[in-house]
Structure 1
C-alpha cells in the first residue's frame, strides 16, 4: 500500500491489525508476533511449511534443497522420457504419449473407434451409444435386455431372443428336451426325437429315423417298425417281394409262390397257384382245360380223362366194359376163364393164355 493510499489530505488513514503499532509520522505499521503486511493482516509464516528447505520470513516462501520441489519443498518427483515437472502441483507433464506419475509408462496402443483413450488405464472411454473394448459396438437391446459391450451381444430377459432381444419368446413345447432359443426348435434329450421330443423309437441295422413321423427308413432289406426283422430271402421270378410278409407280389399274368406260373385255365377251370395246375370242370381236360370232354360211355367202369378209354370194374372187360369174365380153378397152376364170347385157359405161373 503506497503512502498516498494510506493518507487522506495529509492525515494517516492506515489501521494496523493483529496488535500492530502505527507510526503516524511515517504512516507505517510495526507488526508483532510474526504478522506481516503493510497493515499486519497477513498471518505469521510457519517454518514447518518448508518440509525440505528453509523459510524466507519476508516472503514466507520456501527455498528448497537440491532435488526437492514445490511450495513446501515436499516434491521429489523425477520425470522420465522427456517429461517436465510442474513443481507447484508436483506433477509431470509427459510427452510422446508416455504416461504415469513420472512418465515411465509406455504410450497406449489402444484404438478407440468411437471414443477416447484413458491414458492412465489405456482403456477406451466410449461416446454415448457406443460400447466395447474399442467403442465399436452400437448394439441396442430391446425389451429390457442388457448389452455386453465386450462381446457386443445382448443378454435377453423374459424369453425374448435374437441379437437385440427383439424376437418374441418361443411357444414350442418340448416333452423330453429343451428349446433352442435361436430357432425355437426342440433339442431332445438323448434317446428321444421328433418335433416335440415325443418319439423314443430306435432304428436298428443302419435304419434312419424320421423323428417328426417317428418312423424308421430301413436299409439292406431289413424291415419292421425298428428295422429289426431280417431281410426276406424270397425269390420272385416275375414280381416283387412284399417286405412285410416276404411273399411275392406277382406281375400281371403271373402267379404262384415265386411268380413263375403263367398258366391260364380255359372253360371255367380254376388255377391252383401253389402247384401251377388247372382244376377243370364240365368234363374239360388237359393242362389248361382246353381239351373237349370225352364222349366215351363205359357200361361197367369209368372214363380215363387223359385218353378217353374205359377203366373197367373188376370182372368186366371190353372197350366199353360191357363183357364179363368168370375164371374157374382147374388144378395146380391153371384157371379156365369164360367170357361172353368163349372160354380160355390161363397158366397162372406164366400168365400166358393157352
Structure 2
C-alpha cells in the first residue's frame, strides 16, 4: 500500500515536433467544463447560449492575459534584471499564471461583452462563478503534472512524492511534500458545490454568488499560500499572495453583506431593461421599456400641439368667399345673421373647421 501520492513521470508529450503539455490540456478541459456548466445555469436564468458565448469570447482572452500579467508582475525577478531574458515573459507554455489577474481582467472582458449584448454583468458573474471554481480545480492538476507549487515537507500518508530534480534548494533531502494542488482542488470543488446549493435554495442574485466565490476562494487560498514553499516575493515575512488573498476575502465578504442588505432576491431578467445594448444588432430600444413609452408619449403630444395650433388657420376658413352662397334662405324669409365680431369661433367646441374633432393630448403612461 502506497503511503504517498506519486507524481506523473512526465508532463509533456510530443506529437512529432509539437509538444503536448498536460498543463495546457488541463486548462482547456477546465474551460470546457466551466462553459458547459455555465450554459446550463444561464439558460435556467432565462438567457440564451449565443449571448453567453459572445461574452465568454471577451472574458477568456482577457482572463488569460491577466493571469500572465499578474504572474510576471509579482515574480518580475524571474524575467527582468541581470542575466535574465525579458522575452521569456511571453513563454506562457513554460507555466506561470495568476488566478487573481485572470479574475480581474476576465471580469473586465465579461463586462465589455455584457455591454455589447445588453445583459446584466452581475447576472453573468453569478452564473459562471461555480464553473470557474471547477475550472480552477481541474487546472490545478497541471501543477501536479509539472511537479510544482507544492508545500512543505511532510510524512503524512497523502504526502506528494517529488522527483529530486524538482525539489527546491534546501529541501533536497526530503522526498514527500504537502500536495497543495490537491488541497486547493478539493477546496474549490467544495465551494462550487456550496454555491450551487445556496443559489438553488435561496435564489441568490445581483452578484451575491460571485461575491461568495471571491470571499471563500480567497479564504482557502490564504492558507494554501501559507503552506507553499516555492520562491516568491514577500512583504514582512508574508507571501504577496497572502496579502492579495486577505484583501480579496474582506472585500468579497463586505460586498456580500451589502448585497444581502440592499439587493435582496434575484434579478427578474438577465437583460438590461433601462438601457440599450452597445452592439449594433441591438441598437433599437425595447418597445416595452419605460424609455420607449416616454418617447412615444412625447411624440404624440408634439403632434397634438401642432394640430391644435394649425386649427384656427385652416386654409378653408381663410379662403372663404365673400359672395353670397347658393344656400337656400330660411323659409320665413328672414335674413341670416352674421356671428358677432367677438373673436369667438362659431364652431362647436372641439370641432375643427372641416367638421373633424380636434385631436387631444395623449395621457401620460
TM-score normalized by structure 2?
Answer: 0.21
Which structure has more helix as a fraction of its residues?
Answer: 2
Greater strand proportion: 1
**Largest Rg, 1 or 2:** 1
- Ranked by relative contact order (alpha carbons within 8 Å, sequence separation 6 or more), the top structure is 2
